């Protein structure tokens, strides 16, 4: 059985990629995907620890996170579609009407 920090290491890498994707990319879809990546990194960490501690709590959390992620995706995609309809672009830097 693989030690738990292998899973953790993968989770950290995934989270970092996701975070960097959120911060660096301008395409709303990609950012969305990066957010999913970060959520799934967290899921992975939960699942790994759940297995490590022989506890079901972590796994229950994962179900919640997946539900939240699904809801988020549903709303997020709807927003993106609407933004695209008005702006004809999904570049988040183009959407800066609230600039101070």
Partner 1 sequence: MLFNAANTGGFFYLVPFLVFFPVIGLLINITLGGRMGEKAIGAIACLASGLSFVIAVLLGLALLGRPEGVVVPYLNWITIGNLQLDWAFRVDTLSVTMMLVVGGVGTLIHIYAVGYMHEDVRHNDDPGRYRRFFVYFNLFIAAMMILVSANNYMMLFIGWEGVGLCSYLLIGFWYEKGKDGIGNALAGNKAFITNRIGDFGFLIASFLMFKYFQPLAANGVFSFDFDSVATIAKQVPQGVILAITLFTLLGVTGKSAQLPLYVWLPDAMAGPTPVSALIHAATMVTAGVYLIARSHAIYSLVPVAQNWVAIVGAVTALFAATIAVAQFDIKKVLAYSTISQLGFMVAAVGMGAFVAGMFHLVMHAFFKALLFLSSGSVIQGIERGEHLVEHDPTLHKRMKHEGHFDPQDMRNMGGLRHKMKTTFWVYLVGALALAGIVPLAGFWSKDEILAEASTLNPAIYWLLIIAAFFTAFYMGRQIFMVFFGDPRSEPAAQAKESPAVMTIPLIILALLSIVGGFLNFPTLHTFTTWLEHTIQVVAEGATGGEAVAGGFNIVVAILSTVLALGAITIAWYLYMRRSQDMLKLPLNKRADDPLRPILGPIFTLLENKYWVDELYGYLVIKPYQWLSKFLAEKVDWDFWHDFFHDTILAGGFNGATRLLSGPVDLGIIDGIANFLGDGFKELAAQMRKLQTGFVRNYALSIFIGVVFIIGYLIIRLG
Compute the distance between CA of residue 6 and CA of residue 12 in angstroms, rounded to an integer: 10
Min dist CB 50 to partner 1, Å, is 21
Among candidate residues 77, 63, 69, the one with its CA nearest the CA of residue 38: 69
CB of 40 to partner 1, least distance (A): 18
Name which position in 26, 27, 58, 87 contacts partner 1 (CB under 8 A). Answer: 26
CA distance 85 to 4: 46
Query: Contact between 23 and partner 1 (CB under 8 A)?
Result: yes
Nearest distance in Å: CB 46, partner 1:
17
Binding flags for partner 1, 78-97, as an x/- string (CB under 8 A): --------------xx-xxx
* Cα(65)–Cα(7) distance, integer angstroms: 18
70 sits near partner 1 (criterion: CB under 8 A): no
Give, in order, the Cα–Cα distances in Å from 62 to each of 24, 46, 65, 77.
Answer: 27, 7, 5, 22
* Contact pick of 13, 24, 29, 78 for partner 1 (by CB under 8 A): 24
């Amino acid at each position: 059985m693989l030690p738990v920090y292998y899973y953790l290491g993968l989770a950290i890498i995934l989270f970092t990629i996701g975070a960097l994707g959120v911060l660096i990319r301008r395409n709303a879809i990609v950012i969305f995907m990066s957010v999913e990546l970060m959520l799934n990194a967290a899921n992975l960490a939960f699942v790994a620890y759940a297995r490590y501690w022989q506890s079901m709590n972590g796994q229950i959390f994962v179900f919640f996170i997946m539900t939240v992620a699904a809801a988020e995706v549903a709303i997020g995609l709807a927003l993106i579609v609407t933004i695209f309809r008005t702006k004809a672009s999904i570049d988040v830097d183009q959407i800066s009407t609230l600039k101070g």
